[in-house]
Structure 1
Amino acid sequence: MNFSEILANTKRSGSTLTSPIPQEWTQGRTAFGGLTTALAYYGARELTDETRALRGAMISFVGPTTNEVTIEATPLRSGRTTSSIRAEIKSNNISATEAIFTFADLRSDSKIHHSPPASPAPTSPVSDSSLEVMRPNFPQFYNNFEVSPFQGMPFSNAKQPDISWWVRHRDPAAHNSLEGLLSIGDALVPAYGTAMREWTPMSSMTWMINLLTDTATTEQGWWLLRSTSDSAGGGFTSQNMTIWNTSGDCVLMGRQMVTIFG
């Protein structure tokens, strides 16, 4: 089941949505975090009819998510320019993912401007046909994506925990939707995985993101994802995350806490 089919099979009953979690979208004993984030956002939109642009989100991956989930959304506040909505995903009637989404349109009268980081990649799979495109078969959810590594490889004993890959959905219907972008934003192996020698299980715990545009679009579905780790110890690593489109525009920045089981 591809990403758009999951959304198409998400059904509403009163104030709750029910969505399938196909086995091919899992990693270990839980669903891929990008998928649950996208479902939480989809639920926040569908259940509240919010129309303003997504500006930011704070996500906590509370517990495992399997088989089928329910999604509930609660408006926390709606002001003149901004609104906040809490979305909860439950698995087996137990909280699995908690998210707070902030919605606000860009203001044209703002006099403050500071450019975000420039893209480190001079070309993309759209502009350079020589770039290798592959479909990793591990973790399992990677079967839903195509990737073109730009910098860094998992478990390569790298000196610096830094990884940048071009990633896109195999599902064309997900190429330019915000749900598609959110579901792909957590697709990289955590940055610290590049500094390790061998496969070690890892899992996202929290994810905070800021959207830098009202309309996140790219060519042929390709997004450049970069993750860098600024600290690690005691079984946890803190990392920065950035996403650019094929035009080199920075569209998303974030922070994430990841637990390392090894």
Structure 2
Amino acid sequence: MNYTDLLASIADAGPNARTMLVPETWMQGRTAYGGLTAALCLEAARPLAPGLPVRAVQVAFVGPVNGAVTCKAEVLRQGKNTVFVSVRMTGDDGVLADCIMTFGASRQSSLNFADLPAPDVPNPEDVKPYFRNHQGPAFAQNFDLLIAGGALPLSGAEKADVSIWMRHKDTATPMDAVSLLALADAPPPAAMTMFKEPGRISSMTWMAEFLTEDIETEDRWFLARHVAQTARNGYSSQEMLLWNKARQPIMVGRQTIALFI
């Protein structure tokens, strides 16, 4: 099931609630891919903040997401320019994810800068696929992923710093905040480049900040850089940055990942 068919399968489940059946093609082991979980929650939140762009998303991945799931949204606070929306995803096993979505109108400001230079890497036309011969988890087959800098997973690298060009394979995918959130978490955690043997990982939390309302790029390509800044006591904390093809910053984020190795 491609991305647009996936969105079309979402059904109403009562006031401010959406439900859907997670397809196997969007799974990562026994759970839905984290980017999809976040995107479904954002899709449920948007009707409660009509006309306002999303500014920040905070997600706690509480339990494995599979089967039939329901996202229930609730306005926490609505101000003159901002709306805070809580979204809880539930399934047969109870709470699966808890999110807070922050929406905010544009306002005039004396400050206008973005000090987030993109890494010096080749264009997507000049780099190789990240996964070869359909390797990788099921959900990864929904994306084009290219290795632009750094090392591949399980390569025993000295640094956990990887740059990846990525886009939705579904060419009908809309260029909006929900589809970007569904894409942004596609690369494996940066710490996996330092692994010398296979080991399980699990995303625990994800914070993403949208730096622009104008989500656009050339040929649908976005450039991601993921850097694991700490790994100790079985957990890794990584920085995540995203640019469009013109190297304009689009999103920044942080993620906490459990390492079972």
TM-score of Structure 1 vs Structure 2, range by shorter chain? over 0.9
Structure 1 letter corresponding to 2:138 = Q
- 1:83 and 1:116 map into 2 onto residues whose CA distance is 27
Match of 2:140 in 1: 142
Match of 1:233 in 2: 232
Q: What is the TM-score when the length of structure 2 is the normalising length? A: 0.94
Match of 2:177 in 1: 178
Match of 1:45 in 2: 46
Whether the aligned pair in 2 keeps the contact of 1:121 and 1:150 (CA below 8 Å) is no
Answer yes or no: is 1:61 the counterpart of 2:61.
Answer: yes
The farther-off stretch of 29-38 and 219-228 is 219-228
- 2:201 and 2:130 map into 1 onto residues whose CA distance is 22
TM-aligned CA deviation for residue 13 of structure 1: 3.0
- 1:166 and 1:209 map into 2 onto residues whose CA distance is 18
**Helix, strand or coil: the match of 1:260?**
strand
Distance change in 2, residues 1:122/1:149 (3 Å): closer
**Helix, strand or coil: the match of 1:89?**
strand
- Kindly provide the CA deviation profile for residues 98-127 of structure 1, in whole angstroms up to 9, marking residues without a partner as x: 1100001232x21123323111145432xx
Structure 2: 5+ residue stretches without partners:
none
Whether the aligned pair in 2 keeps the contact of 1:161 and 1:193 (CA below 8 Å) is yes
**Helix, strand or coil: the match of 2:126?**
coil
Q: CA RMSD in A?
A: 1.5
- 1:21 and 1:146 map into 2 onto residues whose CA distance is 21
Whether the aligned pair in 2 keeps the contact of 1:11 and 1:19 (CA below 8 Å) is yes
Match of 1:132 in 2: 128
TM-aligned CA deviation for residue 14 of structure 1: 2.1
Structure 2 letter corresponding to 1:53 = P
Structure 2 letter corresponding to 1:43 = A
TM-aligned CA deviation for residue 175 of structure 1: 5.3
- Kindly provide the CA deviation profile for residues 171-201 of structure 1, in whole angstroms up to 9, marking residues without a partner as x: 1122522211101111111111111112211
Q: How many residues align?
A: 257
Distance change in 2, residues 1:119/1:175 (3 Å): farther
The farther-off stretch of 132-141 and 184-193 is 132-141
Q: Counterparts in 2 of 1:77-88, with a 5 A limit?
A: 77-88=77-88
Whether the aligned pair in 2 keeps the contact of 1:64 and 1:91 (CA below 8 Å) is no
Match of 1:196 in 2: 195
Match of 1:27 in 2: 28
- 2:29 and 2:13 map into 1 onto residues whose CA distance is 30
Structure 1 letter corresponding to 2:88 = E
- 2:256 and 2:121 map into 1 onto residues whose CA distance is 29
Structure 1: 5+ residue stretches without partners:
none
Match of 1:244 in 2: 243
Structure 1 letter corresponding to 2:83 = S
TM-aligned CA deviation for residue 250 of structure 1: 0.7
Q: What is the TM-score when the length of structure 1 is the normalising length? A: 0.93
**Helix, strand or coil: the match of 1:237?**
strand
**Helix, strand or coil: the match of 1:77?**
strand
**Helix, strand or coil: the match of 2:192?**
helix
Percent identity over the alignment is 33
